[in-house]
Amino acid sequence: MTKDIATPVRTKEILEKHGFSFKKSLGQNFLIDPNILRNIVSHANLSEKTAVIEIGPGIGALTEHLARNAGKVVAFEIDGRLLPVLEDTLSPYDNVTIIHQDILEVDLGAVIQEQFADYEEIVVVANLPYYVTTPIILKFLHSKVPISAMVIMMQKEVADRITAHPGTKAYGSLSIAIQYYMDAEVAMIVPKTVFMPQPNVESAVIRLTRKEEVPAEVIDEDFLFEVSKGSFAQRRKTILNNLQTVLPDGKAKKDLILTALEHCEIDPRRRGESLSIEEFAKLSNALYNDFFRQ
């Protein structure tokens, strides 16, 4: 086995050899601890039969661990300066494809068809650029591609919100937007010291696993997310107050909102943070005909 990329000494050598300087605006904090990488990869349960999508390979620290454990790895990197570096550092691995593209611009369905036709299981593993964590995760979930799990590093504060349960301070529309599709848990907390350069915040790795069924069928997913977001518009307000403020003509249609809440057996004095995803789903269905805007 070749020497790990992710040691402080080797990382510095690679950066110097290629004259690379970090771009903060691209969230470039590279991992320099092989133990953390082994730990991340262990949470992805990889095998020869698994295909992996990685976002932001950097100089290949995580990519090489993925290549050693999965059948195939396709990694998307936005920073063209890293392409020659990756060609060099990942030359021992023939099961890695690097694509120079902004992940937010990628047609995921087409990539999966082109790259992963022979694979039944596709997972996402990444140390995400922190400035775009949420749009990236939501892109994967909304594009409906058959991703069975995501093992992803992010800022701990965002990890807490994604994995939060009802009745907690961290629970909100982001928890619902993700847990509607995926079971979510924090897999590990990661200290700043294992990155170069060190980020200003603590990090965490979360594991998202596809739910066999969504918690409750909804008429329109976008409307569910609109209702849940609106219900947290002012966390201290009741669900009735928030919905009256955020739904179109909400004040004039107070009675319709009350009828929908009653139909779902939700006390109008409750706050958004006490509602489960199932309750939000039922409520959005009950409100749909009265409020959905085309």
Q: Which is nearer to ligand SAM, 28 or 179 (CB)?
A: 28
Closest residue to ligand SAM: CB criterion = 56
Q: Judged by CB under 6 A, which stretch of 91-99, 109-117, 124-132, 279-287 contacts ligand SAM?
A: 124-132
Count of residues touching ligand SAM (by CB under 6 A): 23
Taking CB under 6 A as the criterion, the residue among 44, 70, 73, 78 binding ligand SAM is 78
Cα(168)–Cα(228) distance, integer angstroms: 15
Sign, Cα dihedral of 79, 81, 83, 88: negative
Cα angle for residues 209, 210, 214 (degrees, 5° grid) = 135
Angle made by CA atoms 182, 204, 163, in degrees to the nearest 5: 30
Binding segment for ligand SAM among 13-21, 74-82, 84-92, 107-115 (CB under 6 A)?
74-82
Considering the complex, state which of residue 72 and residue 282 has its C-beta at the smaller distance from ligand SAM: 72
Give residue 248's region: left, alpha or beta (phi > 0; psi -120 to 50).
Answer: beta
3-class DSSP assignment, residue 103: helix
Question: Shortest approach of ligand SAM to residue 218 CB, angstroms?
Answer: 29
Q: Which stretch binds ligand SAM (CB under 6 A): 45-53, 71-79, 88-96, 272-280?
A: 71-79
| Strand arrangement, sheet containing 182-190 | 96-100, 72-77, 50-55, 121-127, 147-155, 203-210, 182-190
The answer to whether residue 102 forms part of the interface with ligand SAM (CB under 6 A) is: yes
140 touches ligand SAM (CB under 6 A): no
Q: How far apart are the first and last CA of the chain?
A: 57
Between 132 and 239, name the residue whose CB sits nearer to ligand SAM.
Answer: 132
- 175 neighbors 162 (Cβ within 8 angstroms): yes
Using CB under 6 A, pick the residue from 26, 99, 186, 214 that binds ligand SAM. Answer: 26
Of the candidates 287, 182, 140, which has an alpha carbon nearest to the alpha carbon of residue 224?
Answer: 287
Residue 218 in contact with ligand SAM, rule: CB under 6 A: no
Q: Is 243 in the site for ligand SAM (CB under 6 A)?
A: no
Residue 69 φ then ψ, to 5°: -115, -15
Q: Considering only residues 14, 28, 159, 273, which one is a binding residue for ligand SAM as defined by CB under 6 A?
A: 28
**Nearest CB to ligand SAM, comparing residues 55 and 264:** 55
Name the minimum Å distance from CB 142 to ligand SAM: 16
Is residue 59 within 8 A of residue 5, CB to CB? The reply is yes
Which C-beta is closer to ligand SAM: that of 77 or that of 226? Answer: 77
Residues that bind ligand SAM (CB under 6 A): 26-31, 55-58, 61-62, 76-79, 82, 102-104, 127, 129, 132
